[in-house]
């Protein structure tokens, strides 16, 4: 009987206590730390963190579950707040680790690109170097060829000079030889070559010209045969006579093997006297033929 | 009378469960100390975010020391918090260093490309 009364008393009391508890739970707002932990975990789960560092995200998940459980079981315990903070930190660790991994990936990518770019620049530089080497080799070959050609040319010139000296020595025995700005000038007196007012070569003249032709043959140097007269007679006559005499000498030298295209004839008449026309000797000196051997054009 | 006795017994059991009966978490404390040292060696003091969590770790460690002997259960909880703060400090320092290295690599690349710009 007593126990029934007790029970009758206890039931409303228990109901009241239960009601108070339920009411208290409903009023309980989750602590700030737990709200922050939930938000942090949501961030970690939605971004690149879950892709790059799923292990730490999983740990954060477990930590959050523990915090939630503690909050359900004993919301007023200080340890509940500790667990919520711990869960938030775990999510933050996951995010920081993922950021590290992402930075490493970026660095690796940049380094790969750097290696590729350096390698391509190196290749380009090598290509340029090869081209430069080739160009240098070519230039050296050209230089050697030019040096060889110059040496040959120099040798040829020396040979030519030697031959010319020989020729000059030969000619000097039979005619006056001098050098002026036109080249080597061989002067033959008119009396030696022609009779007065004639342009046919004397027999003795031919012998001299033979020697000159022998000496000049093969030199391949351009020559001009100039004919000169004194100032006796008309200018036209003298011009004509000097041209004919120059041509006679030219034709004879050509007949003796001097190449036709290397030798020309020009009558100067009384122009360019070498002596005074007032005296007999002077006029004799002016009547002359000059064979000008021009320096060889290189 | 019987109800009072039962209530007293229950409260005593609860108090015991609260931690005073647990041994002091000395090993955990040493581990937390080691975590803190790792974070310091890992460069956390020179990264502002990391430095903040390093300070929190140190404070938690001190707090746990004060709790030890009185409430060993809470002390253990606070030590766990100190450890996670120190680990976060180290992670943040590493992330900052990795980002700096990535930026430098990117700058090198830009320099080589001749733009001279930063990403």
B contacts of A93 (beta carbons < 8 Å): 84, 87-88, 91
Query: Would you say B95 and B45 are in contact if contact means Cβ atoms under 8 Å apart?
Result: no
Assess whether pLDDT exceeds 50 at residue B7: no
Give the residue from B76, B95, B108 with the most A CB atoms within 10 Å of its CB, the best one to mutate. B95
Say if the Cβ atoms of B92 and A96 lie within 8 Å.
Answer: yes
Question: What is this model's ipTM?
Answer: 0.81
Which member of A82, A92, A100 has the closest CB to residue B94? Answer: A100
Q: Encode burial over A190-201: b for 16+ CB neighbours within 10 A, e otherwise.
A: beebbeeeebeb
Give the residue from A55, A82, A88 with the most B CB atoms within 10 Å of its CB, the best one to mutate. A82
Query: Would you say A177 and A211 are in contact if contact means Cβ atoms under 8 Å apart?
Result: no
pLDDT in tens, B55-103: 999 999 999 999 999 999 999 999 999 999 999 999 999 999 999 999 9
Report the CATH number that the domain containing residue B87 is assigned in CATH: 1.20.1270
Which member of B80, B99, B108 has the closest CB to residue A103? Answer: B99
Comparing CA positions, the residue from A116, A145, A271 lying closest to residue B113 is A116
Domain range for B61 is 23-113
Assess whether pLDDT exceeds 90 at residue B106: yes
Say if the Cβ atoms of B98 and A99 lie within 8 Å.
Answer: yes
d(CA A248, CA A211): 16
For residue B1, is it within any domain?
no
> In this predicted model, which residue has the larger pLDDT, B11 or A90?
A90
What angle, 0 to 180 degrees and rounded to 10, lies between the N-to-C axes of helices A54-73 and A78-172? 160
> What pLDDT sits at residue A298?
54
Query: Which residue(s) pair with A194 in the sheet?
Result: none
Structure tokens at A226: 């100039």
> Number of A:B CB contacts under 8 A?
75
Q: How many domains does chain B have?
A: 1
For residue B102, is it within any domain?
yes
> What pLDDT sits at residue A173?
81
> Which of A74-83, B4-13, B39-48 has the lowest average pLDDT?
B4-13
Alpha carbon separation from A226 to A230, A263, A269, B60 (Å, rounded): 14, 11, 9, 124
> What pLDDT sits at residue A238?
94
For residue B9, is it within any domain?
no
Say if the Cβ atoms of A117 and B101 lie within 8 Å.
Answer: no
For residue B2, is it within any domain?
no
For residue B11, is it within any domain?
no
For residue B10, is it within any domain?
no
Comparing CA positions, the residue from A271, A265, A255 lying closest to residue A291 is A265
For residue B81, is it within any domain?
yes
Query: Which residue(s) pair with A223 in the sheet?
Result: A263, A293
Q: Is A257 left (phi over 0), alpha (psi -120 to 50) or beta?
A: left
Any CB–CB contact under 8 A between A17 and chain B? no
A contacts of B88 (beta carbons < 8 Å): 89, 92-93, 96
pLDDT in tens, A114-130: 999 889 888 999 999 99
For residue B56, is it within any domain?
yes
Alpha carbon separation from A155 to A146, A220, B101 (Å, rounded): 14, 16, 71
> What pLDDT sits at residue A295?
83
pLDDT in tens, A183-219: 889 999 888 888 888 898 988 889 889 988 888 887 7
Q: Give me the residues of chain A with pLDDT under 50, please.
A: 1-8, 19, 23, 25-26
> What pLDDT sits at residue A193?
87
Say if the Cβ atoms of B108 and A114 lie within 8 Å.
Answer: yes
């Amino acid at each position: 009987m007593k126990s029934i009364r007790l029970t009758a008393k206890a039931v409303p009391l228990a109901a009241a206590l239960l009601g108070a508890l339920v009411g208290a739970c409903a009023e309980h707002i989750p602590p700030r730390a737990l709200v922050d932990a939930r938000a942090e975990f949501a961030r970690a789960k939605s971004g690149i963190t879950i892709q790059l560092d799923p292990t730490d995200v999983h740990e954060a998940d477990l930590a959050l579950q523990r915090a939630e459980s503690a909050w359900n079981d004993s919301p007023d315990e200080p340890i509940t707040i500790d667990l919520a903070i711990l869960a938030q930190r775990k999510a933050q660790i996951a995010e920081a680790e993922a950021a590290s991994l992402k930075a490493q990936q970026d660095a690796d990518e940049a380094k790969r690109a750097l290696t590729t770019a350096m390698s391509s620049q190196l290749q380009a530089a090598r290509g340029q170097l090869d081209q430069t080497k080739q160009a240098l080799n070519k230039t050296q070959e050209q230089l050697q060829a030019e040096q060889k050609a110059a040496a040959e040319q120099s040798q040829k010139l020396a040979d030519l000079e030697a031959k010319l000296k020989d020729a000059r020595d030969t000619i000097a025995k039979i005619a006056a030889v001098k050098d002026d700005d036109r080249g080597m000038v061989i002067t033959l007196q008119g009396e030696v070559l022609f009779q007065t007012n004639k342009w046919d070569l004397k027999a003795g003249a031919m012998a001299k010209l033979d020697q000159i032709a022998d000496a000049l043959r093969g030199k391949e140097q351009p020559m001009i045969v100039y004919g000169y007269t004194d100032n006796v007679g008309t200018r036209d006559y003298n011009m004509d006579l000097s041209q004919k005499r120059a041509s006679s000498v030219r034709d004879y030298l050509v007949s003796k093997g001097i190449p036709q295209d290397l030798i020309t004839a020009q009558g100067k008449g009384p122009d360019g006297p070498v002596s005074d026309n007032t005296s007999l000797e002077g006029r004799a000196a002016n009547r002359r033929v000059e064979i000008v051997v021009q320096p060889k054009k290189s | 009378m019987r109800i009072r006795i039962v209530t007293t017994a229950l409260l005593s059991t609860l108090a015991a469960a609260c931690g005073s009966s647990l041994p002091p978490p000395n090993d955990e404390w040493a581990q937390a100390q080691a975590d803190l040292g790792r974070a310091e060696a890992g460069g956390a003091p020179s990264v502002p975010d990391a430095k903040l969590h390093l300070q929190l770790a140190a404070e938690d460690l001190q707090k746990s020391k004060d709790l030890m002997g009185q409430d060993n259960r809470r002390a253990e909880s606070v030590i766990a918090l100190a450890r996670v703060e120190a680990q976060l400090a180290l992670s943040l320092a590493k992330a900052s260093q990795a980002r700096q290295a990535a930026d430098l690599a990117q700058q090198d690349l830009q320099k080589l490309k001749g733009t001279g710009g930063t990403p």
